[in-house]
Amino acid sequence: MDANTVVSFEEKLNPLLVPATKTLILNLDKLTYLSSAGVRAIFKIRKFLSSRQGTFIMTNLQPQVQKVFEIINALPETPIFESIEEVDRYLDAIQKKEVEKQDRFSNP
C-alpha cells in the first residue's frame, strides 16, 4: 500500500467507519508493501475505533509488513494475529468472559 493505492484502500474502508462499528479486522495476507501513506491510513482506522472504545485487529501480516510496524513500534496496543482462526479464538474468549461477567452480576 503506497501513496497511489492508499486512496482506494480508504475508499473501501470509509463506509465501515461508522459509530456502530465496534470491531474491525484487517486481513493483510495479500499486502506485500506498506509505505508511510499506508501506515497513516491504518493509524486513522485505529484512532477512529479507539475514540469509540472499539477493537482494531490485524492478521496475516507478511514478514516485511510486520517489520515496518516493529521498526516504528507504532501499534503496540493493537492485537496482531497470524491467522483468522487465531482471531476467532481470541474473539470467542473475549465474548465468553463478557458472558461470565454478566452472569455474575445478574446472579448474585
Instruction: Classify residue 65: in a domain, yes or no.
Output: yes
Instruction: Classify residue 108: in a domain, yes or no.
Output: no
Instruction: Classify residue 35: in a domain, yes or no.
Output: yes
74 or 101, which is more confident? 101
Q: Residue 83: pLDDT above 90?
A: no
Give the chain's domain count. 1
pLDDT, position 95? 65
Instruction: Classify residue 54: in a domain, yes or no.
Output: yes
pLDDT, position 15? 94
Q: pLDDT digit string (tens) for 22-81?
A: 999 999 999 999 888 888 899 899 899 999 999 999 999 888 888 887 777 655 566 677
> Which grid coordinates are listed for 28?
493483510
Q: Residue 107: pLDDT above 70?
A: no
Closest residue by Cα to residue 26 from 70, 72, 75: 75
Instruction: Classify residue 94: in a domain, yes or no.
Output: no
Instruction: Classify residue 97: in a domain, yes or no.
Output: no
pLDDT, position 76? 58
3-state secondary structure the chain: CCCCCHHHHHHHHHHHCCCCCCEEEEECCCCCCCCHHHHHHHHHHHHHHHHCCCEEEEECCCHHHHHHHHHHCCCCCCCEECCHHHHHHHHHHHHHHHHHHHHHHHCC
30 or 100, which is more confident? 30
CATH number, domain at 72?
3.30.750.24
87 or 60, which is more confident? 60
**Domain extent at residue 28:** 6-83
Instruction: Classify residue 96: in a domain, yes or no.
Output: no
pTM of this structure? 0.67
Instruction: Classify residue 70: in a domain, yes or no.
Output: yes
